[in-house]
Amino acid sequence: MDLTINNSKLILAPIAGFSDCGLRSLSTHFGAGLCFTEMVSALALHYKNKQTEELLTLSKDEMNTGVQLFGSNPSVFSEVVEFPILSKFKIIDINCGCPVPKVYKNGDGSALMKTPEKISDIVKAIKKSTPEKLVTVKLRKGSEGRNNYIECGLAAQESGASLVTLHGRTREEMYSGKVDLESIALLKQALTIPVSGNGDVTNKDSYKNMLDTGVDYVTIARGAIGNPQIFAELQGKKVEVSIKELILKHIDFISFLPAKVQLNQMKAQISHYVKGKRNSKQFKDLVFKTNSIEELKLLITNSEID
**pLDDT band per the 50, 70, 90 thresholds, residue 299:** very high
With a cut of 70, say whether residue 6 has pLDDT above it.
no
Dist CA 11 CA 35 (whole Å)? 6
Tell me what pLDDT residue 237 has. Answer: 93
Can you give the pLDDT at residue 62? 86
- Helix, strand, or coil here: 290? coil
pLDDT score of 4: 65
Report the share of the chain in percent with pLDDT over 70. 98
Mean per-residue pLDDT, 222-242:
95
pLDDT at 160 over 90: yes
Residue whose C-alpha is closest to residue 270's, from 31, 23, 38 = 23
Query: Average pLDDT in the 123-144 region?
Result: 96
Residues 146-175, mean pLDDT to the nearest whole number: 97
pLDDT tens digits along 198-221: 999 999 999 999 999 999 999 999
- How much of the chain is helix, strand and coil, in % rounded to 5? 45, 15, 40
Ranking 2-16, 114-128, 199-213 by mean pLDDT, the lowest is: 2-16
Q: For 50-87, write each residue's pLDDT tens digit.
A: 888 888 999 888 889 999 999 999 999 999 999 999 99
Q: What is the mean pLDDT of the chain?
A: 94
pLDDT value of residue 122: 98
At residue 284, the pLDDT reads 93
Active-site residue numbers?
A: 98
- Residue 2, pLDDT > 60, answer no
pLDDT digits (tens, 9 = 90+) for 26-50: 999 999 999 999 999 999 999 999 8
- Show Cβ contacts of residue 237 under 8 Å, excluding neighbours closer than 6 positions: 31
Answer whether residue 1 shows pLDDT above 60. Answer: no
Rounding to the nearest 10 degrees, give the CA dihedral for residues 244, 248, 249, 252: 180
Alpha carbon separation from 245 to 83, 188, 265, 273, 288 (Å, rounded): 37, 39, 17, 11, 19
